[in-house]
Amino acid sequence: MVLDSKRPLHCLAAILLLLVSVQTSLSDPRIGNGNSKSEVFLSPKFVMEPGSVSNKYYYNVDFPKGHIAIKSFNAEVVDEKGNPIPLHETYLHHWIVLRYHQRKDTADSGAHQGDLGFLQSDHIVVKNSGMCDAGLSQYFGLGSETRKTSTDVPDPYGIEVGNPADVAADGYEERWMLNVHAIDTRGAEDKMGCTECRCDLYNMTVDGGNYNGGLRCCHDGAKCRVEKGFEGGVETSRRSLYLRYTVEYIDWEESIVPVRIYILDVTDIWTKADESRGIAARHRCLIEYNVESCSAGGSHDSCTHTKTLSVSLPTGGDVIYGVGHQHAGGSGTALYGEGGRLICSSNPTYGTGKEPGNEAGYIVGMSTCYPSPGSVKISDGETLTLVSNYSSTQTHTGVMGLFYLLVSDSSPERDNLVQSYPAQENHKSSTKSNFNWGFVLFGVGLVSVVVSALSIAVVSLLRGTSGRRNEGYEPIIA
């Protein structure tokens, strides 16, 4: 009987393929069979020169089409060649993406210096689930921290968009607006002061001088003061920049668990509802505030400015993701539930170099929270406490203390469903196993069988190929 010398090799290949398949099935139980899609877009260009400010709203921007689940949304400022621009040259104060419905026969609104497009009757803003009466309606948005802040939505969850059934009225369609606020600090007399929109650096007086700094002083077209003699090269320093944004998504399917988006603002002036008087709850969100410097005689170690908000979340559920937003000087923010239990804390990462994503003195990332599915819950109407801390060794103007949450409805059936998905590690996009021990032991046993079979195949292969070096065969072990 003559044995086919290629059979052990075929067997080895088949076993290796099986081993890879088993490993993949154990570690990657993703929805959509892992068929995620990713699209990269560029915003309309905005032209910058030293000291200039661009804060425009772009309507009907490019966005994935169809009924989909958004799994991540990332962005950064780049030049015409696609090179990332560091924060110490062009500071990204913020970018936000807002969803709206518009009549299909309405032409593109183009770019505006403000959100003038939404004053038109053919625009219907689709707000997130947040409680602010005005502002902070976006679905996505970050600032200087954008390059190193995870925005991944873990399985089996997704941000649902593009559902035709959700469109406000016949004849309308879903569209997206992008707002990019950038400040060119090349040659600036005080780079950090420009990024904090200090009114004196913009040669502006607001409210009789009572408003020292913030968005009202660094509006579109404003200019921050640059060093004397630097303006001679302004024309040669003009450049066109873009916001490059990447959207990862999957086609919507019934197994995806939708999430609600909440953005909490530590400056929220909350007026509680009074049903007996017919008064609804009001949330006046100021969005920004100032941090006064601590006493000159005090220790800098104790110079921390703390601002807090207590607010009731009308509809609770399972917390899926959380992240804070702060400006330079921020030392961390945290969200607590009733009884002082920690829901999520988010701390800044400061850069230490000059390269994009690691700019010294700037917040280049915020840590995120990815609780194990169903492990962190907020009750309907529960009172939450938001805490935002800043160093007060010096004055800071126009700072923010926002908290972005993804929350899903909670039910026993849904809890059982999501337990089959791995929890996403805090601060990372990697996953860890969340299977029960029985399933793990089954996997270990199966891998052991495969390893044994692999050993047999290797021995067989060695025997079948020994002494055949002259015929073009190489033994695995020389």
Confidence of residue 473 (pLDDT cuts 50, 70, 90): very low
Give the pair of three-digit tokens for residue 139: 């679905």
Instruction: Tell me, yes or no, whether 190 and 290 share the same domain.
Output: yes
State residue 113's pLDDT score: 54
- Cα separation, 383 vs 313, in Å, equals 6
pLDDT above 70 as % of the chain: 73
Task: Confirm whether 428 is domain-assigned.
Answer: no
Instruction: Tell me, yes or no, whether 380 and 477 share the same domain.
Output: no
Task: Confirm whether 47 is domain-assigned.
Answer: yes
Residue numbers of the domain that contains 23:
1-29+437-478
Torsions phi, psi for 324 (to 5 deg)? -100, 165
Task: Confirm whether 251 is domain-assigned.
Answer: yes
124-133 pLDDT per residue, tens: 999 999 999 9
- Cα separation, 418 vs 365, in Å, equals 28
Lowest-pLDDT choice from 35-39, 108-112, 193-197, 371-375: 108-112
- Cα separation, 364 vs 350, in Å, equals 6
149-205 pLDDT per residue, tens: 999 999 999 999 999 999 978 899 999 999 999 999 999 999 999 999 999 999 999
Confidence of residue 451 (pLDDT cuts 50, 70, 90): very low
Task: Confirm whether 431 is domain-assigned.
Answer: no
Instruction: Tell me, yes or no, whether 153 and 82 share the same domain.
Output: yes
Asked whether the beta carbons of 404 and 261 are under 8 A apart, the reply is yes
Of 262, 348, 276, 277, nearest to 309 by C-alpha is 262
- Cα separation, 235 vs 215, in Å, equals 26
| Mean pLDDT of all residues belonging to the chain | 82
Report CA-CA distances (Å) from 91 to 182, 200, 292: 6, 18, 23
Instruction: Tell me, yes or no, whether 308 and 221 share the same domain.
Output: yes
Of 401, 337, 334, 419, nearest to 363 by C-alpha is 401
111: which residues sit within 8 A by CB, 6+ positions away?
Answer: 44, 56, 57, 58, 59
State residue 447's pLDDT score: 40
396-445 pLDDT per residue, tens: 999 999 999 999 998 666 666 666 666 655 443 333 333 333 333 334 34
Q: Using the 8-state DSSP alphabet, how is residue 207 labeled?
A: G
Instruction: Tell me, yes or no, whether 90 and 58 share the same domain.
Output: yes
pLDDT above 90 as % of the chain: 66
Instruction: Tell me, yes or no, whether 355 and 441 share the same domain.
Output: no
User: Between 114 and 103, where is the model more confident?
Assistant: 103
Instruction: Tell me, yes or no, whether 69 and 200 share the same domain.
Output: yes
Residue 351 forms beta bridges with which residues? 360
Number of domains present in the structure of the chain: 2
Task: Confirm whether 426 is domain-assigned.
Answer: no
Instruction: Tell me, yes or no, whether 246 and 129 share the same domain.
Output: yes
Instruction: Tell me, yes or no, whether 155 and 272 share the same domain.
Output: yes
24-35 pLDDT per residue, tens: 333 344 555 568
Q: Using the 8-state DSSP alphabet, how is residue 420 labeled?
A: T
Q: Model's pTM, two decimal places?
A: 0.80
285-323 pLDDT per residue, tens: 999 999 999 975 555 567 999 999 999 999 999 999 999
355: which residues sit within 8 A by CB, 6+ positions away?
Answer: 86
State residue 457's pLDDT score: 42
Instruction: Tell me, yes or no, whether 6 and 90 share the same domain.
Output: no
State residue 169's pLDDT score: 84
Instruction: Tell me, yes or no, whether 242 and 309 share the same domain.
Output: yes
Report CA-CA distances (Å) from 476 to 17, 67, 465, 470: 19, 52, 9, 15
Instruction: Tell me, yes or no, whether 20 and 39 share the same domain.
Output: no
Of 272, 292, 275, nearest to 283 by C-alpha is 272
Give the pair of three-digit tokens for residue 84: 């990332």
Name the region of 373 (left: φ>0; alpha: ψ -120 to 50; beta: rest). Answer: beta
257: which residues sit within 8 A by CB, 6+ positions away?
Answer: 156, 157, 158, 408, 414, 417, 418
Q: Angle 397-324-150 (CA atoms, 0-180°, nearest 5)?
A: 125
Mean pLDDT of 13-32: 41
